[in-house]
Amino acid sequence: MILIAAADKNWGIGRNGQLLVKIPEDQKFFREETLGKAIIVGRRTLATFPNGLALSGRDNIILSRDRNLRVKDAAVVHSVQEARDLVSDLPESDVYVAGGADIYREFLPYCTQADITRIDYCYDADAFMPDLDADPEWEVARVSEEKTYFDVTYRYVHYVRRAAVR
């Protein structure tokens, strides 16, 4: 599984149920990376998608505690194991964990790669993902050149789980 997120300098990912900042190139990157793949998200992240609907062109897997939740064009699961069972036949590179904060924490042990858009700013976030730089199980494999969107600077950072730990 591959974790995919945009995080600020403090690993903040959101505020009041929304992304900290919307960067068109980052949204394009997310679309290109996940199109034709499976994405695992929580119910609150689903609510941030256009019209609160499953994303087209992907196998949407929604993790929710609500046993009555039904989502058009998506599979609703109620545990990490249930989600993992649904994607067990897929290549690891075809499964993306796409948020939010609780989902990142719960699925991180099963991810071997992470594509993080690192935003060079500290927002007033109320949702955070795990700090991969502080985790000895993870290392940076490559970093893009710095990019700018208006006054926001960012880089794409690809992390890999250290083989020795797995």
Say what the pLDDT of residue 163 is. 75
Say what the pLDDT of residue 165 is. 42
Rounded CA gap, 14 and 29, in Å? 18
The rounded average pLDDT for each run of 10 residues, N- to C-terminus, in the chain (166 residues) is: 98 96 97 98 94 96 96 97 98 97 97 98 97 97 97 98 66
Residue 56, both tokens: 């087209």
Domains of the chain are 2-161 (3.40.430.10)
Residue identified by tokens 């064009």 is: 73
Q: What are 96's strand-pairing partners?
A: 2, 39
Helix/strand/coil for 86: helix
